[in-house]
Amino acid sequence: MSEAKSALYRGYPAVPTMSENIYLRCTAIILLYFMQGIVVGLSTIAIPAWLAARGASPIEIGGFVGTALLPWSLKLFNGLLMDRFTYRPMGRRRSWILVAQALMMATLFGLAIAAPSASQIILLTAFCFTLNLCATFNDVAIDGMTVDLVPEEERTTVNGFMFASQTLGISAAGFIAGQLLVDDQISITAFLFGAFVGIASLFVSLFRERPGERLFPWTGGQPSPECTERQHAAWLPILGGIFRSLLSLPTLLFLAGTGLASATFAFLDSVAPTLAVQQLGWGSDDYSSFASIVGLVAAIAGATITTFLVRWAGLRNSMTVLFLVLALAAIIAGATYEIWQGSTVFMAIYAIQYIVALLLTIVLIVWAMRLCDPTIAASLFALFMAAPNLARSLLSGGSGWVVEGSGYAAAYYAVAALSLAGLALCLFAGVGAGSLANEDEQQAG
């Protein structure tokens, strides 16, 4: 160990840091993304199915999901705060992560105490909105930390594991909460997940971002050179960097394309629960269990397939095929809906939609992460994520009206049309073109 590094460690135990240990940073990122999945699983699987089983309409469930997920479209503001302010002795992102985790845990315990019933949709929406707001601060901090700490050659693999872990969290939360909510056990559900967030947060709190930083505010340490160099002391450089990015037409087209790519997830969030429970006769626990199993398969696919897919086919080809599969699946579902016998077609289409939509999300995020300047990573990456999140929230809120006005087949056709439009915008934006395409081809070779 060099004399300079020895000086940094002097005064506290030489525990590993995330910047130096690939296994540690991957474990921390995966665990944090899993906890985000708990929030999303409650908001998009377990509670919507519970509401559907208690007689809520597609419009009410769409409104719940759209509002609960709305904070995910505000991530740019979170990113601006994090790129401008942080407690530097603890690193650029770690203090934000720990605060967000604490607030998430407090919200879950508050939900356990309040114990709203399925008829109290407004109160449930308020709690889930707050819970997702806490999760977005956590998410933006993790994304910024990933851009800061993960080398370029690791990012495709790490992205696959990130979203696989989040999907696994969604599945776990959907399954566990689905079994508890069938008996209206909202208090036990919220307390259980709050306790898990607390335990997982304790693990994450034990490791620094970089050598020499403080483990907690009251321990020894100092800001790392990287933190001092990259953290902004004024708003103008951050806003200037974002504005320069938005001056590019390809960037704007890419943002619009990723927004429309969320159409499938919006359908699965707000339309699939009422379709399964109220039209096909499923129980809320049946739907939650099925969605959780599909999510588990999607998590495995995201962790194992994405890297090989991009390296073999390239970013552009991978994106194109995934968009087209989503559009085709929705068209087939819309064309056959009126003649469905039982649930077989619905289950097959749902599985295809969920798995392919997750793979497409990972592929698009690989591209977005490559575009990020590390000095404003939290803000810029949050901007790239804000577009699909805002679109997912708005489309979830509006999908109930499509179902009420035109039926479930029309909702499927709308997903197909939006997916094709998203593909066209991403192709016009040049996703996978140029030097990055050449890089993908080199990796494939």
Q: What are 392-444's pLDDT values in tens digits?
A: 888 888 888 888 888 999 999 999 999 999 999 988 877 655 444 444 443 43
Check residue 262 and report its DSSP letter: T
* pLDDT(237) > 50: yes
* pLDDT(315) > 50: yes
Q: Are 167 and 394 in contact (CB under 8 A)?
A: no
Per-range mean pLDDT, top range of 32-36, 75-79, 314-318, 344-348:
344-348
Residue 53: inside a domain? yes
Residue 98: inside a domain? yes
pLDDT of residue 436: 41
Average pLDDT over residues 204-218: 71
Residues 371-397 have pLDDT tens digits of 665 555 556 666 777 778 888 888 888
Residue 268: inside a domain? yes
* pLDDT(13) > 60: no
3-state secondary structure of 86: coil
- R_g over Cα of the chain: 22
- The residue with greater pLDDT, 109 or 32, is 109
Residue 5: inside a domain? no
What is the CATH number for 271?
A: 1.20.1250.20
* pLDDT(6) > 60: no
Residue 158: inside a domain? yes
Chain-wide mean pLDDT for the chain? Answer: 80
Closest by CA position to 69, among listed 264, 270, 291, 253: 270
3-state secondary structure of 119: coil
The reported pTM is 0.75
Residue 265: inside a domain? yes
- The residue with greater pLDDT, 183 or 328, is 328
Tokens representing 218 are: 């009251």
Please count the residues of the chain.
445
- Percent of the chain having pLDDT more than 90? 29
* pLDDT(239) > 60: yes
pLDDT of residue 272: 92
Angle between the 121-149 and 58-68 helix axes, to the nearest 10 degrees?
40
Residue 176: inside a domain? yes
Rounded CA gap, 98 and 297, in Å?
30
pLDDT of residue 221: 64
- The residue with greater pLDDT, 90 or 194, is 194
Residues 99-149 have pLDDT tens digits of 888 999 999 999 999 999 999 999 999 999 999 999 888 888 877 777 777
> Which domain does 385 fall in, by range?
17-444
Closest by CA position to 64, among listed 81, 45, 86, 92: 45
pLDDT bin (cut points 50, 70, 90) of residue 85 is low
pLDDT of residue 435: 40
Residue 251: inside a domain? yes
Indicate the number of domains in the chain. 1
pLDDT of residue 5: 46
